[in-house]
Amino acid sequence: MTKGSPIAGRLERPVTYRISLWLLGIIAMGLVISAAGAVLFAGREGESVEAVGLAGLAILFAVGIVEGLASRVVLGAESLEVVSSFKRTTVPRAEIVRVVGEKGVPVAVQLRSGEWLKLPRLGTGPHANTVRAWVKRASS
């Protein structure tokens, strides 16, 4: 790739991975169904346990939507930014030693300090090979 090629320019821009909209839609449907169930059972006598349970479930779905909207992985020009569980972690590309990812296990990066950083499961990536290629670009 040459510097003048459109691909080279695209690779220098940050690439952001977020949760799929269809996954957020499923979570939103769970929120609506559990909230409607809580309201329905709250109006009946003797059904308070079900109403409280469904209200608690609705709260968890709401937290899931907020977490889903906030979670992201950004492969920047020189750093990896991970926003998950309401915290932000930025790792310089030079600090990443290796990237591991297997089927059914979230992608994780090993840092020079020996620590592991797990990337959030977003449903759309980034996949291990994508992160490996991003790390290798630093040396080329």
Please state the pTM of the whole predicted model: 0.74
Per-residue pLDDT reduced to its tens digit, 84-113: 888 899 999 999 999 998 887 889 999 999
CB 117 within 8 A of CB 82: yes
Provide the percentage of residues in the chain whose pLDDT is more than 90.
51
What mean pLDDT comes out for the span 25-49?
91
User: String of b and e for 7-27 (b: at least 16 CB within 10 Å)?
Assistant: eeeeeeeeeebbbeeeebeeb
